[in-house]
Amino acid sequence: MTTIKLHNTRTRGKEVLNPINPDDVRLYLCGPTVYDRAHLGNARPVVVFDVLYRLLRHVYGTDHVTYARNFTDVDDKINATALARKEAGAPGTLEELVQERTEETISWYLADMAELGALEPDHMPRATAYIPQMIAMIEELIAKGHAYADGAGHVLFSVKSYKDYGALSGRSVDDMIAGARVEVADNKRDPMDFVLWKPSTDELPGWDSPWGRGRPGWHIECSAMSHELFGDSFDIHGGGNDLMFPHHENEIAQSCCAHPEGDFAKIWLHNEMLQVEGKKMSKSLGNFFTVRDLLDQGYPGEVIRLVFLQTHYRKPMDWTDKKAKEAEATLRRWRALTTGINPAPTASVAVIDALSDDLNTAGALAELHKLASAETAADLLTSARLLGLLTDKMGTWSQGENHDLSHHEKSLFDARQVAIETKDFAEVDRLKTALIAAGVEVRMSKTGVELVPGPSFDASKLDAI
């Protein structure tokens, strides 16, 4: 069987993956807080874990891998969006508006990630469906002396009660206090203590608990949901680097203190952040965009996916327009080469080896480039599909390639010949505008007209011309 090695943040080295149960390899990824569209950076862990999920399914069998990614559907940011809607005159109670917002955001998220070729996880638990499990875990933590209620509706985790706190990110508690903006509050026994439960007002979402009507803190969600789905120990836990502290440190503290008989997650995988044209993505720099923004601008999901895979997940990734153009050209070439070809029975060993070496997607793509010749097109197709590329579903954007535009080329050419005589270019302009609106690039020269379908080509818009 293929040996998979992964870089474990906790041990700071590459480790062989030895699943607890090879018949059920379990991985958990921290999912989004559903208050708005996913930005490009949010999509990186999704694509990274999708490749890992595909690799594990390839090695252990499709039915022997379980992937869970949660939705955080209770959060102050969601409440704030709902409140803004209510103040703008939207009908319904605040609680109904919260639910409307989360439902809408979840459907956007699933649609956007599907465009990037990400398979849906086996479990997509929503925090609000696991409140009893969270309350039970908090009670357990209090009983074991790791958490305390402040008498005013809050429950806090006592960081000092867990000696290994900080082991994942390799920082001491003192360093963390110095480096993070730790909220000092009267109800905390120690500044590092974090919230497990907090009170809710009557209008905001809330649940009855031994500490009054309230709602959970963010960190307890993942501990409670992963425990419910996977038990005391599972194989791989992932997320972006930005989640390592405090979110993942807190998850470990909660889970290991509530269930000391287990290991919680054995391997921790963290992806580096994403930049745009060499700069950190930010609203103030004007380079902030969502996955949907890019799709709407005509970048196909498959192109975005290929750009992502060019950089190893542990390195910062730079999204550039140049890379997207090159990726599009590569995919057009590969798709042309594999049209009408039957896929090879198995993916190339070199591609599998690259992926098994800590998800070396850049190395795997280098192997695909080697396979991109007429003789090995069948291998290219199967191996690319292991990476979620060159699938039929992902290829609709390139279908304009084969669309016959000669009739429109002739119409435009003839209209121009007439216009040269009459000096009336209205018809030429009308045709050009309509073709561009259909996503066609119009190239006119003295000798003829060439029409090239672009990434946003939509053949149905040609009917109206």
Find out whether 222 is annotated in a ligand binding site: yes
Alpha helix (H) residue ranges in 231-360: 249-258, 291-296, 301-309, 321-338, 349-356
Smallest distance from Zn ion to CB 376, Å: 41
Using a 10 angstrom Cβ sphere, with 0-12 exposed, 13-18 middle and 19 or more buried, the burial of residue 16 is exposed
The residues, any chain, with a CB within 8 Å of residue 31's CB and separated by 6 or more, are 69, 70, 71, 72, 124
Binding positions for Zn ion, rule: CB under 5 A: 30, 222
Beta-bridge mates of residue 268: 237
* Residue 273 · residue 316 · CB < 8 Å: yes
Task: Give the whole-angstrom CA distance, residue 134 versus residue 412.
Answer: 66
Q: State the minimum distance, in angstroms, from the CB of residue 68 to Zn ion.
A: 11
The smaller minimum CB distance to Zn ion, of residues 165 and 397, is found at 165
- 103 annotated ligand-binding residue: no
Q: Which is nearer to Zn ion, 222 or 307 (CB)?
A: 222
In the bound state with Zn ion, the residue whose beta carbon lies nearer, of 217 and 388, is 217
Nearer to Zn ion, 223 or 398 (CB): 223
Distance between CA atoms of 446 and 250, rounded to whole angstroms? 68
Residue 251 assigned to a binding site: yes
Query: Nearest approach, Cβ of 112 to Zn ion (angstroms)?
Result: 20
Cβ closest to Zn ion, residue 222 vs residue 303:
222
87 is in an annotated binding site: no
Residue with tokens 């409440």: 79
Q: How far is the CB of 222 from Zn ion (least distance, A)?
A: 3
Residue 148 phi/psi, 5-degree rounding, is -145, 150
Min dist CB 218 to Zn ion, Å, is: 8
How far, in Å, CA of 123 to CA of 135, rounded? 21
Which of 296, 319, 292, 293 minimizes the C-alpha distance to 308? Answer: 319
SS3 for 233? strand
Cα(463)–Cα(465) distance, integer angstroms: 6
Task: Please say which residue, 266 or 432, places its beta carbon nearer to Zn ion.
Answer: 266
Q: How far is residue 336 CA from its own chain's centroid? A: 28
Nearer to Zn ion, 69 or 408 (CB): 69
CB 374 within 8 A of CB 337: yes
- Choose between 242 and 277: whose C-beta lies nearer to Zn ion: 242
Query: Which tokens belong to 326?
Result: 């090159």
Partners of residue 318 on adjacent β-strands: 275
Can you tell me whether residue 207 is helix, strand or coil? strand
CB of 146 to Zn ion, least distance (A): 18
Residue 253 CB, nearest distance to Zn ion (Å)? 13
Task: Tell me the closest approach of the beta carbon of residue 236 to Zn ion, in angstroms.
Answer: 13
Nearest-approach distance from CB 106 to Zn ion, in angstroms? 17
- Residue closer to Zn ion by CB (options 228, 409) is 228
Residue closest to 73 by CA, chosen among 197, 195, 203, 215: 215
In the chain, the largest separation of any two C-alpha atoms, in whole Å, equals: 92
Q: Using the minimum distance from each CB to Zn ion, give the nearer residue, 38 or 303.
A: 38
* Whole-angstrom distance, CA of residue 247 vs CA of residue 93: 31
Residue showing tokens 């120990």: 233
DSSP string for residues in 109-160? HHHHHHHTTPPPPSB--BGGGGHHHHHHHHHHHHHTTSEEE-SSS-EEE-GG
Q: Which residues are annotated as a binding site for Zn(2+)?
A: 30, 222, 247, 251
Q: Which residues are annotated as a binding site for ATP?
A: 283
